[in-house]
Amino acid sequence: MVSALMNPVHTESLRQQIIKKVQRASKAYVQRAQAGEFDPTGGVSAPYTWWNIWSLGPYLSPPPPAPGGDPTAYKPLSKTPDGQVLPTETKAFVATIIYLNPDEILSPNNLLSPGTVLSNFGLPYEITYNTANLSNWNLADLDVDDENVTNPTRRGHLTPGANFYVDILEFASLTDGLMEMNITARLLGDNDGSNPNAPQFAAFANWVYDFNDRELENAFIKGNHPSNPLKFLVYSTKKPDSN
């Protein structure tokens, strides 16, 4: 598989595209739960009742719009794997979704959701993109924000009332080889003394391969997609030394 060179999409534009997709899938998920299609006590991250994370990519551009002109409907990423093979020093994108369980399953009368509890604490979170070069069994050197880094970490805070968060990592690989990216997340709990009862959580990402509405709905319900890391091949565009 060889990927054609493409112009990278702006990070915020890609984030907004994914947010729209998650909003659509989340709304449909809640409607299906309310209609009694499944037991919501299994929830968005069963058997992890509180939360889950998924990752998408890598890719050089977003998937093209689906036929019909709906700007929030896109073909599955599996049909546009333009970032699974990419040149060195070429920008690519990986998206990670943190999703807090919106099901009201915690109180005796099922009137309180894990999403409400976690978001109201305003917990800080960290997402780490653990990346290795399998060709030489070393940490991969990545260019992120014009800095040479390994295992880049992104940080943010949960916001009251918000059940999902989208992080976009824009990066370039500085070396060639077969890369594997395992994405981990932490909800850090009380790290400044303001919320002594705040819980701490850790998780690693499952890859939602087909990023369409129905697939995300099923991910919210089942929470048990195969635990596949992201793998991609980086090839060098430098000409061999003639000497």
Fold of the CATH domain 11-235 = Immunoglobulin-like (2.60.40)
Q: Which residues contact 41 (CB under 8 A, 6 or more apart)?
A: 49, 103, 105
Top pLDDT among 54 and 211 is at: 54
Query: What pLDDT does 75 receive?
Result: 45
Per-state percent for the chain, helix, strand, coil, to nearest 5:
20, 35, 50
Listed by start position, the domains of the chain span: 11-235
Res 202 pLDDT > 90: no
Top pLDDT among 169 and 213 is at: 169
Top pLDDT among 152 and 222 is at: 152
Confirm whether pTM is higher than 0.95: no
Where does the pLDDT of residue 196 fall: very low under 50, low under 70, confident under 90, or very high at 90 and above? Answer: low
Question: For 143-170, how does the pLDDT look when each residue is reduced to its tens digit (9 = 90+)?
Answer: 998 889 999 999 999 999 998 899 989 8
